[in-house]
């Protein structure tokens, strides 16, 4: 009996001593070599033992068995999350464990610019090395179907913004979030629209917002530019906006728009066809959405670029021609 008691006491003391050692060890900064933070990854489906080996193999100077013991003692061995991680100097084993349990992974960012076309957005997403490229082989229609959209065509239906994502995220998730964000912004702008705007549907408002986005040189003029096109729609005038013509030219546009281009009929040539073009021509931002649905209260029907990013507005053709002679000829 005395031997058994001594054995039990020894085991208890050993456990206490081990616990004290692990606790002390867990609070000491890891000896990360150099000034650059160590980076490592944990594969999906990894158990605690495999995960800790991957941490060490990624260049983190840590003992996998001690890390496993720390995870088990703290009751978090089953809570470790896969992903790409970066350790900063002065990280302790306990901080490290907290990080991989919380899933505090490396974040990357992707910026979609207001006024980009969907094709430009797609090309930028394809350039992201840390995004998992799951939609590259999909047609536009198939991509819209995959994100459960009610629309077949993608142009204009993604919100230009900066998106932060964890390494290894599927590009599908970016498209899904961006599309949902645009639909929400459009819904909000439509709900707050002026009662007399000449659009039958939110989609028509989105088309107008894309035109306003491409035509605006200065943000302060968005609502006034929107008013020009809204006034033209109301009066039955042609919109006569170059960006729609350029969009309709597609890959044949070489940076210059010529008289012949304005005279060539396409569904997007607003010099030849009345009303709005069939789809948006770009990804409008929130300012353009608000301008299209709450345009300025003016009688303007024309505007011409002054050459400094601003525009000269006119209510009649005579004044407009004078402005053209002044600023463009």
CATH of the domain at 71: 3.30.1490.480
Tell me which of 54, 77, 102 is where a domain ends. 102
Q: Do both 59 and 132 map to the same domain?
A: no
* Domain match, 161 and 44 both: no
Q: What share of the chain is helix, strand, coil (3-state, %, to 5)?
A: 50, 10, 45
pLDDT tens digits for range 206-224: 999 999 999 998 999 999 9
The pTM of this model reads 0.85
On whether residue 13 sits in a domain, the answer given is no
Q: How far apart are CA 204 and CA 210, in angstroms?
A: 10
Tell whether 299 is covered by a domain.
Answer: yes
Q: What is the pLDDT of residues 96-148, one digit of tens each?
A: 999 999 999 999 999 999 999 999 999 999 999 999 999 999 999 999 999 99
Q: Is residue 19 part of a domain?
A: no
Q: Do residues 111 and 129 share a domain? A: yes
Does residue 217 sit within a domain?
Answer: yes
Per-residue model confidence (pLDDT) at position 151: 96
Q: Is residue 144 part of a domain?
A: yes
Flag whether 20 is in a domain: no
Domain boundary among 146, 166, 186: 186
Assign 147 to helix, strand or coil. coil
Which residues does the chain have with pLDDT short of 70? 1-23, 33-35, 329
**57 vs 11: CA distance, rounded Å:** 33
- Please report whether residue 271 resides in a domain: yes
Distance CA 143, CA 171 (A): 11
Same domain, 221 and 287: yes
Residues 156 and 252 in one domain: no
CA neighbours closer than 13 Å in the CB half-sphere of residue 76: 17
Number of domains in the chain: 3
Supply the range of the domain harboring residue 76: 28-102
Other residues' Cβ atoms within 10 Å of the Cβ of residue 194: 10
132 plus 198 within the same structural domain: no
Q: Are residues 242 and 225 in the same domain?
A: yes
């Amino acid at each position: 009996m005395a031997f058994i008691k001594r054995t039990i006491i020894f085991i208890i003391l050993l456990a206490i001593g081990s616990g004290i050692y692990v606790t002390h060890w867990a609070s000491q900064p890891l000896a990360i070599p150099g000034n650059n933070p160590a980076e490592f990854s944990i594969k999906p489906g990894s158990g605690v033992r495999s995960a800790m080996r991957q941490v060490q193999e990624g260049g983190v100077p840590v003992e996998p068995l001690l890390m496993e013991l720390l995870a088990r003692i703290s009751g978090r061995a089953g809570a470790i999350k896969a992903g790409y991680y970066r350790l900063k100097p002065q990280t302790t084993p306990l901080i490290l464990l907290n990080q991989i349990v919380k899933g505090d992974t490396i974040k990357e960012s992707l910026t979609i610019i207001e006024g980009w076309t969907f094709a430009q957005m797609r090309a930028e997403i394809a350039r992201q090395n840390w995004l998992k490229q799951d939609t590259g082989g999909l047609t536009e229609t198939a991509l819209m179907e995959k994100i459960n959209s009610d629309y077949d065509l993608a142009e204009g239906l993604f919100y230009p913004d900066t998106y932060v994502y964890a390494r290894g995220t599927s590009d599908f998730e970016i498209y899904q979030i961006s599309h949902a964000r645009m639909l929400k912004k459009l819904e909000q702008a439509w709900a707050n629209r002026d009662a007399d705007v000449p659009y039958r549907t939110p989609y028509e408002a989105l088309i107008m917002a894309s035109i306003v986005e491409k035509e605006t040189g200065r943000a302060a003029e968005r609502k006034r530019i929107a008013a020009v096109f809204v006034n033209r729609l109301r009066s039955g005038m042609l919109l006569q906006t170059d960006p729609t013509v350029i969009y309709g030219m597609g890959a044949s546009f070489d940076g210059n728009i010529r008289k012949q281009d304005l005279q060539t009929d396409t569904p997007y040539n607003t010099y030849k066809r009345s009303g709005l073009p069939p789809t948006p021509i770009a990804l409008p931002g929130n300012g353009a959405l608000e301008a299209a649905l709450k345009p300025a209260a003016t009688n303007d029907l024309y505007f011409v670029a002054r050459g400094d990013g601003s525009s000269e507005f006119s209510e009649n053709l005579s004044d407009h021609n004078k402005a053209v002679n002044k600023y463009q000829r």
